[in-house]
Amino acid sequence: MSLVEIRDLKVEYARSGGVPLPVLDIPELKIEPASQLCIRGGSGSGKTTLLNIIAGILSPGRGTVVLDGADLAQMSEAERDRFRGRKVGFVFQTFNLLSGFTAAENVLLGSVFAGDPGEKRADRTARARELLEKVGLSGRAEHRPSALSAGEQQRVAIARALMNRPRLVLADEPTGSLDEKNGNQVLDLMTNLAAAAGATLLLVTHDPVVMARFSTVLDLARLNKIV
């Protein structure tokens, strides 16, 4: 069974004048477990919207989006939030770390809100620090984001995305705020750690250098019937 199955997805945005703006019209998309793939598309093509729908951040609206056997369209917003916390890790272009928390605390926060309620805090804390070690930041665990470089912040974000042992890791232009060296390091970490965890990695980008790192690249313009 596919990890993600999309059928007849149609997404429109409201705009002034009452005429909706079509954004996505995807008849079918399947993503297999433990796969790694890239979806390419230009600015404004709907890449981020697609990720947000797969993650359950946005309601699918019309059509069906099934993640790990669960139909997201049949869930309330609160149910989707809890489900996403258990099943999905998200890496953003702008890191989205909380400035008042240390690197270790930022990684740990995901498990506080959506992790296993029966898991001891000491075990969660140990796992957060283990993940920071895997991304090469064991010596920076007590630093706040303002004391970290852009590359280090994105490595914290990768550790955070893997904290709840997700089935699916989504990455939205994760190297867009980084130079080439840090971008390559981030890509290496994401692909290697996702593979080691048995998680599916879905990355969206417009950068041909990033695309070249993936054996499977899908063109959103071909998936999406809206031109």
For residue 34, count other CB atoms closer than 10 A to its CB: 13
In a domain, residue 84? The reply is yes
In a domain, residue 69? The reply is no
In a domain, residue 66? The reply is no
State how many domains the chain has.
1
108-116 long-range Cβ contacts below 8 angstroms, 24+ apart: 108/163, 109/160, 110/85, 110/160, 110/161, 110/163, 110/164, 111/163, 111/164, 113/85, 114/81, 114/82, 114/84, 114/85, 114/86, 114/164, 115/85, 115/86, 115/163, 115/164
In a domain, residue 6? The reply is no
CATH number of 130's domain? 3.40.50.300
Give the model's pLDDT for residue 179: 94
d(CA 203, CA 186) in angstroms, rounded, equals 12
List per-residue pLDDT tens for the chain, 227 residues long.
Answer: 899 999 999 998 887 777 888 899 999 999 999 999 999 999 889 999 999 999 999 987 799 999 999 999 899 998 999 899 999 999 999 999 999 999 999 999 878 766 566 678 889 999 999 999 999 999 999 999 999 999 999 999 999 999 999 999 999 999 999 999 999 999 999 999 999 999 999 999 999 999 999 999 999 999 999 86
* Residue range(s) defining the domain that contains residue 155: 33-60+76-223
In a domain, residue 136? The reply is yes
**How many angstroms from the chain centroid is the CA of residue 94?**
12
The predicted-structure confidence for 128-172, as pLDDT tens digits, reads as follows 999 999 999 999 999 999 999 999 999 999 999 999 999 999 999
d(CA 114, CA 35) in angstroms, rounded, equals 24
d(CA 26, CA 86) in angstroms, rounded, equals 26
In a domain, residue 13? The reply is no
Task: For residue 137, give the DSSP letter.
Answer: -
In a domain, residue 18? The reply is no
In a domain, residue 178? The reply is yes
Give the model's pLDDT for residue 43: 87
